[in-house]
A and B are shown apart, each in its own frame.
Chain A
Amino acid sequence: MNSHDDLIRDLARSTDATPGKLTELRARLAAAAERDGILDIAYRVVDSPVGALLVAATELGLVRVAYASENHDAVLQHLAERISPRILAGPARLDPVARELDEYFDGRRQSFDVPLDWRLSAGFRSTVLHHLPEIGYGHTASYAAVARLAGNPKAFRAVGSACATNPLPVIVPCHRVVRADGGLGGYLGGVEAKRTLLTLEAAA
């Protein structure tokens, strides 16, 4: 063996910290960044009956909820480009929404009251999304009915695209929008997830 390479390897090993140390330092960094006001986006991943949900919040509020099928890495990259790359996994800011989601999936919560940052939706789509919480827990509404709620009865296709691009699914209940003929319609988290949410709400 080459003793030079051995020495370098020993050097790397002797200066290597334990994995626990890095975890501790990363948590400390997230706390310090929050304290200094430079943590533009904090995120964590919450387990749920509809799979792993990424939840991300700015200092204003919850800005993104994403299903695993949307690819969490791609979603974070998109947030870096759209809002800011100063993004860290930082559980503290997401504690309230994680707790509310747990309660919701346990059937103990019917609406969410965490602050929301709506900046990822705009125009008529945003108007549509703002009206969705008016469809109560356990109820559904047709795309046409939501178009009327949003003040443009002819715009039921736009309602469909607003739901398909909802940056805050589950929290902003686009899963309660279904087809007039009783069919489930599409869902950005997959039809199975939509069925799971509606079944959960119907049972509670």
Chain B
Amino acid sequence: MSVKQPFERVVADHGRTVLRVCRAVLGPVDADDAWSETFLSAMKAYPDLPADANVEAWLVTIAHRKAVDVTRARGRQAIPTDDLPPIPASAETEHDDDLADALAHLPHKQKQAVAYHYLAGLPYNQVAAILGGSADAARRAAADGIAALRRTYPGAATRKGKTR
């Protein structure tokens, strides 16, 4: 029999990864709200979660739904941004901006597949369960995403020239 940990432990163990996923999928501006809503929803449902459930996959699934909601809300508010650069990440410029830009420009499916597999560490069958479609399709989306990042993010190719 496995027992359920205090929710504080869940936040401590998975908070950082879920925030990474939110930032990868939504960018830093909307990520905070998505993270907050994810953990608030998760905490509401936590007593009913089976004790042997994969907590990280469960959290990423909730985060995925919250991110979809945020993206839809943003789409309703703003001009379609297909041909425009993404909103710059204000006050969050301490990170590799080139890579953040490249990630922001990926098609949704690729961005999500990369985030859930490479940042959250979920296997492709779980990524597929979240995104819909087959595990092979999830694997292809992640591979295409990584290939596109490698093309557009110069850091990976010219790493030796970088100072950080």
If A7-B156, A85-B7, A88-B8 touch, does A25 touch B95 (CB 8 Å cutoff)?
Answer: no
Interface residues on B, range: 35 or more
Q: State in angstroms the CA–CA spacing of A101 and B103 once bound together.
A: 51
Is A66 an interface residue when CB atoms closer than 8 A count as contact?
A: no
Chain B nearest CB, measured from A16 CB (Å): 6
Cβ-neighbour of A3 out of B7, B114, B156 (below 8 A): B156
Q: State in angstroms the CA–CA spacing of A86 and B4 once bound together.
A: 10
The proximity string for B residues 125-148 relative to A, scoring 1 for CB distances below 8 Å and 0 otherwise, is 000000000000000000000100
Cβ-neighbour of A85 out of B5, B94, B118 (below 8 A): B5
Cβ-neighbour of B19 out of A11, A21, A84, A87 (below 8 A): A21
User: CB within 8 Å of A: which residues of B?
Assistant: 3-9, 11, 15-16, 19-21, 23-24, 28, 31-32, 35-36, 39-40, 43-44, 46-47, 94-96, 99-100, 103, 114-115, 118-119, 146, 149-150, 153, 155-157, 159
Chain A nearest CB, measured from B86 CB (Å): 14
Chain A residues positioned under 8 Å from B157 (CB to CB): 3
Total A-B pairs in contact (CB under 8 Å)? 117
Is A191 an interface residue when CB atoms closer than 8 A count as contact?
A: no
Main secondary structure, interface of A, reads helix
Extra pairs beyond A15-B100, A85-B7, A86-B46 (20, CB < 8 Å): A6-B156, A10-B96, A11-B99, A13-B95, A14-B96, A14-B99, A14-B100, A15-B23, A15-B95, A15-B119, A17-B19, A17-B23, A25-B35, A29-B11, A29-B39, A36-B40, A76-B9, A80-B3, A80-B4, A84-B47
Contact indicator B16/A38 (Cβ below 8 Å): no
Contact indicator A85/B16 (Cβ below 8 Å): no
* Leading 7 A-B pairs by shortest Cβ distance: A87-B6, A14-B96, A15-B23, A85-B4, A15-B20, A14-B99, A7-B156
Chain A residues positioned under 8 Å from B11 (CB to CB): 26, 29, 88
Chain A nearest CB, measured from B84 CB (Å): 21
Contact indicator A10/B99 (Cβ below 8 Å): yes
Cβ-neighbour of A11 out of B5, B8, B114 (below 8 A): B114
Please, could you name 22 A-B residue pairs with CB atoms under 8 Å apart, sorted by A? Answer: A1-B159, A3-B159, A6-B159, A8-B118, A10-B96, A10-B153, A12-B118, A14-B96, A14-B103, A16-B16, A16-B23, A17-B28, A25-B15, A29-B36, A33-B43, A36-B44, A38-B44, A80-B4, A84-B47, A85-B5, A85-B46, A88-B11
Q: State in angstroms the CA–CA spacing of A17 and B21 once bound together.
A: 11
For residues 19 through 38 of chain A, which have their beta carbon under 8 Å from a beta carbon of chain B?
A: 21-22, 25-26, 28-29, 32-33, 36, 38
Question: Number of A residues contacting the other chain (C-beta, 8 Å)?
Answer: 38
Q: State in angstroms the CA–CA spacing of A38 and B115 once bound together.
A: 29
Chain A residues positioned under 8 Å from B94 (CB to CB): 18
